[in-house]
Structure 1
Amino acid sequence: MENLPEAPPSFVRKKQTILHQLAVPTSQYSDLSPKGSVDEAIRTLIDGINSSEGLVTTSSCAGRVSVFLEGVRRQGTKSEATLSSEVNNGQLAGPGGKGGGGRWLFVSHDPIVIPNAVDSESFIHNLFQLPSKPTSHFTCPENCRYLHFKFEPMILHVLTSSLKEAQKVLNAALQAGFRESGAMSLEGAESMSTTPMVAVRSIGLMFDSIIGFATNDDGAEHIRVTVSDEHLRMLVDLANERFRINQERIQRFRTLLLSPNSENRKNSKKAQKCTGETWEEPEVRRARKKAEGERKRKEHQTKQAPNPASNEEDSESLEYIGNMLE
């Protein structure tokens, strides 16, 4: 295996600090995320990456489904400088709706499980802290605050000790399906002290749907849902499906990056073959192709009328096709 350059002192110090923070017992650990701790769904991945000599995670989210109420946006006639200052200070909501009193009504880092013995519509409304019935008024008045139902897939930031380590992480992320991944902090590429940051992400799985809005009438907040119960249930089902795909990609990324023979996997074209979202090992692919060849052989023989003179020639041709498919 190719020897990697020694990690710069700045990377070593940063990694030591992060590992010290993560070593705090779960009951005492807290970070800046809404949940305040490392998601259990990717704890094994995080531990594996941080056990690698040239890698350390700086932030992560395993993926989440949420209901988010935007904060207060622009009010009155204020200068752009004043508005920008208020957004930066959290007094007004920014483009994504955060700040200005915006808040999560519901957040989960796991699929939403609806018990069979309950009324699903009532369960969802109570879970999301929503009114029981949709409003008949679908026009959002001026200065209303939109209500979002969101699914966000895993996002992971990995600090690396060198360009070679960054390339290894990026290759694994792209092959696993995190197609919008990229490397940052590449300036000074000629320097041995370069420590790139790799963002592992898959924006294609994300979705954001407006399901209502909130108004402030006489100083009281009123939330109005503008979609049907069936629509809410459809969004929940879609989020659960995205969770499944997200978890499959996380597992592929972990295998490609941390498996002992990950370098062989990365350089083997056969190991990179995919069918839809399902990863295929070389042995599985060969067996599938062989079965396809046998099926096509039988279909061809069924369609062809008996012809003793051509049977031998057809058999040789089909044998060749079957071998090619293997």
Structure 2
Amino acid sequence: MDRSVQFRRWKTQCLSKADLSRKGSVDEDVVELIQFLNARDQFFTTSSCSGRILLLDGGINGFEVQKQNCCWLLVTHKSCVKDDVILALKKASADTILKFEPFVLHVQCRQLKDAQILHTVAIDSGFRNSGITVGKRGKTILAVRSTHSLEVPLSHKGKLMVTEEYIDFLVNVANQKMEENKRRIERFYNCLQHALEKETMTNSHSKIKKENNPTYIPKKKRNLEKIHGKCITEKNENKLENDDDDDELGISVIFPGDY
């Protein structure tokens, strides 16, 4: 089957499925971004979360936090206040964890070069834990991720192990991370629009040249780093360089199986 035909079939199947997430719908802060991507022929989104603050009870297995088989005492995709956390903690009966999880997005791309454009935009926007995976059937997935997270234990066997003052401090930290998370989403969306617009113009220019000159051979894929200067100000670059929460990461292309 032609690759483009197969991709359109995958896209139709994916976007027609019911949303099985706990929330049951796309988060408000990323609706416009998701719609923009899904309107493009070369992309469709498979999952997303705009970022959230949550309180899990019974989620510790050894040194690892488990989301399955635990109670979600609190979850919000907005900033929260200390009183909400204190109230939720009264329902705790096991080991409770306060977490902030940043924006995550998975996009299936028609070609590897399409995924590389998104990957560059993601890295430039502060999502430095992003990567690309390629399945054996050719499914190319771009994951937008960062390490801008928070995970702190608050209670053990239902007993609160920290003071309310410390909880207030943690909530403020989580809220600050949420605000930074929103700024990165906005940067990602703005840079993405610019990058795809420039890519379209480049392709159109090459097509016109080829039509006017049959012997014309298009140049190799343009250097994606040219996007950097248009998308991010020097101030933002310095801010991201000094962000200790992010790790350096390159493109990861693997072939372990299908996705």
Shorter-chain TM-score bucket reads: 0.7 to 0.9
> Is the 1:45–1:254 Cα contact (8 Å) retained in structure 2?
yes
Counterpart in 1 of 2:77? 109
Q: Match of 2:125, as an amino acid? A: A
Tell me the matched-pair count: 213
* Structure 2, unaligned runs of 5 or more: 203-223, 240-259
TM, length-normalised to structure 2: 0.72
Q: Match of 1:125, as an amino acid? A: I
Counterpart in 1 of 2:5? 9
Per the alignment, do residues 186 and 167 of structure 1 end up closer, same or farther by CA in structure 2, a change over 3 Å counting? farther
Per the alignment, do residues 145 and 172 of structure 1 end up closer, same or farther by CA in structure 2, a change over 3 Å counting? same
Between the aligned partners of 1:243 and 1:262, the Cα distance in structure 2 is 30
Shift of 1:71: 4.7
Q: Match of 1:102, as an amino acid? A: C
Between the aligned partners of 1:123 and 1:169, the Cα distance in structure 2 is 37
Task: Give the number of the structure whose alpha-carbon radius of gyration is greater.
Answer: 1
2:191 maps to 1:256: yes
Shift of 1:18: 2.6
2:146 maps to 1:150: no
SS where residue 65 of structure 2 aligns?
A: coil
* Structure 1, unaligned runs of 5 or more: 1-5, 22-28, 75-93, 115-120, 133-143, 188-192, 215-222, 280-326
> Is the 1:245–1:277 Cα contact (8 Å) retained in structure 2?
no
Per the alignment, do residues 238 and 196 of structure 1 end up closer, same or farther by CA in structure 2, a change over 3 Å counting? same
The more displaced of 250-259 and 174-183 is: 250-259
CA shift digits 1:253-292 (9 cap, x unpaired)? 111112364559951553344314789xxxxxxxxxxxxx
Q: Match of 2:102, as an amino acid? A: P
Shift of 1:185: 1.4
2:145 maps to 1:201: yes
TM, length-normalised to structure 1: 0.58
2:128 maps to 1:212: no
Shift of 1:69: 1.2
Counterpart in 2 of 1:98? 67
Between the aligned partners of 1:262 and 1:206, the Cα distance in structure 2 is 32
CA shift digits 1:109-156 (9 cap, x unpaired)? 1111x4xxxxxx545412x24279xxxxxxxxxxx9421000000010
Of structures 1 and 2, the one with the larger relative CO (CA 8 A, separation 6+) is 2
2:23 maps to 1:35: yes
Identity of aligned residues (%): 29
> Is the 2:108–2:140 Cα contact (8 Å) retained in structure 1?
yes
Q: CA RMSD in A?
A: 2.9
Flag as ranges the 4+ runs of structure 1 deviating above 6 A.
Answer: none
From 222, 229, 232, the equivalent of 1:270 is 229
Between the aligned partners of 2:76 and 2:238, the Cα distance in structure 1 is 25
Shift of 1:233: 0.8
Between the aligned partners of 1:278 and 1:46, the Cα distance in structure 2 is 28
